[in-house]
Amino acid sequence: MRMYDIIKKKRDGGELSTAEIQYFIKGVSDGGIPDYQISALCMAIYFNGMNVRETCDLTFAVRDSGDKLDFSTINGIRVDKHSTGGVGDKTSLVVAPIVSSFGIKVAKMSGRGLGHTGGTIDKLEAIDGFQTTLSEADFIKQVNDIGFAIVGQSKQFAPADKKLYALRDVTATVDSMPLIAASIMGKKLAADDDCIVLDVKTGSGSFMKSVEKSTELAQLMVDIGKSAGKKMVALITNMDRPLGYAIGNSLEVIEAVETLQGHGPEDFTEVCLTLAGHMLSLAGKGSVESCIEMAKQAIADGSAYCKLLEVVSRQGGNTKLIENTSNFAKAKYSCAVKCKKSGFISKVNTESYGFASLALGAGRNTAEDAIDYSAGIILNKKTGDFVEEGEIIAILYSNDESAFAKAEEILLSATEVSGSKPENEPLIYNIIT
């Protein structure tokens, strides 16, 4: 088999065989195929797509490219949730404590920030001392002891995805449906969960910009998961605006803690409760409606908040930061962004908000970049709000004062102000079961 022929076949719109897809992923994993040929095939897939059979083959090859986790010694039902990536998306920090407070096991592997989107592992590392690497034995023991553990993905876990993702990130081939589905589901299936709830983002801050495309992606991932014997649900949620008001690592942890304490932003709280409700329901705790009520109760009675504290303590994090979030280190500098004219915020480009946060130091431009955990944005106004000329719409935080000019410019040009109030968009567009 020759990689040249595989690239040519897909370039010309052909269907790759299972053997060709396996050959490709083996070459990605063992370094046998050079980066330029991997990138060329990704671009051919980007333009010509893959059918369901090819996408399943790609997913299973990614899953099988490295170590798989064996959760058979975890007692109880294991449920995971995965987001396709967004801005201000700190749902895992709220949803996993809620669900595990009911005895459902959450053995979570999370990722770091990608492009304009934040990553749960980076957010957790904003908590001083929090260990995001555990041995498999310690990880499983913690899940059995307290119901919830969360770690980053080890190098041996779906290594083909790591290589592919790094190349897609720099060759403009991230937003391809089969490549996203195989990347996400390849990793999810290499873990050993019974049920998976997908949070498929849609809109300007997500990789899939339209509800139709996001729904198609969700359906594809649900079908892949089901074909591997998992119980699956996918929610299509709005990413045409950031979730909540905080963007940036420690700022988002603080917002997640406030949400667990019962005073989080309405939009963020609603998405968390709905995701948690579906996770509990898939795990056999009752109807979605009654499980959402249970999730509300876990926030109201403090049990979900206590679960987060327990996990932070168990993984070496400084619980004083959670108990009193004003203990988080603050950025040295802040800058108020003022609106240039009066009117309603009619539309924002959420991806650009993510890039503004990145410019402040909250994310990485290259894999080697260090993160400024205190950097980010607190929004004062969101889509639909009325603003007066000169009113503060956001506060920027950074330890690099020189970053403000660029971030402010990005934020202002990503914020449309007009004379009429925009229509309310749904927060949850669709649920695929």
Binding site for ligand URA (CB under 6 A): 84-85, 111, 174, 179-180, 183-184, 207
> Closest distance between ligand URA and the C-beta of residue 174, in Å?
6
Give the H or E element holding residue 247: strand 246-247
Question: In the sheet that 79-83 helps form, which strands lie side by side, from edge to edge?
Answer: 79-83, 195-202, 231-238, 428-432
> Closest distance between ligand URA and the C-beta of residue 175, in Å?
8
As a whole number of angstroms, the distance between CA 404 and CA 399 comes to: 10
As a whole number of angstroms, the distance between CA 101 and CA 104 comes to: 7
Task: Return the structure tokens found at 188.
Answer: 């999810």
Question: In the sheet that 343-348 helps form, which strands lie side by side, from edge to edge?
Answer: 386-387, 343-348, 415-418
User: Is 230 a known active-site residue?
Assistant: no
> Closest distance between ligand URA and the C-beta of residue 84, in Å?
5
- Cβ proximity of 114 and 169 under 8 Å: yes
User: Is 263 a known active-site residue?
Assistant: no
User: Is 161 a known active-site residue?
Assistant: yes
Which residue among 187, 201, 230, 241 is the active-site one?
187
As a whole number of angstroms, the distance between CA 149 and CA 311 comes to: 7
- Cβ proximity of 58 and 180 under 8 Å: no
Helix count and strand count (H, E) for the chain:
17, 13
Which residue number, 89 or 310, has a Cβ lying nearer to ligand URA? 89
User: Is 199 a known active-site residue?
Assistant: no
Which residue number, 115 or 343, has a Cβ lying nearer to ligand URA? 115
Residue in the structure block whose two tokens are 């939009």: 267
Compute φ and ψ for 55, nearest 5 degrees. -65, -40
Which residue number, 181 or 321, has a Cβ lying nearer to ligand URA? 181
Which residue number, 211 or 295, has a Cβ lying nearer to ligand URA? 211
> Closest distance between ligand URA and the C-beta of residue 335, in Å?
30
Which residue among 110, 176, 183, 206 is the active-site one?
183
> Closest distance between ligand URA and the C-beta of residue 168, in Å?
7
Which residue number, 111 or 354, has a Cβ lying nearer to ligand URA? 111
Q: Which residue is nearest to ligand URA (CB)?
A: 183
User: Is 168 a known active-site residue?
Assistant: yes
Which residue among 161, 193, 240, 267 is the active-site one?
161
Indicate the DSSP class of residue 402: G
Which residue among 63, 82, 105, 381 is the active-site one?
82
Q: Which residues are catalytic?
A: 82, 161, 168, 183, 187
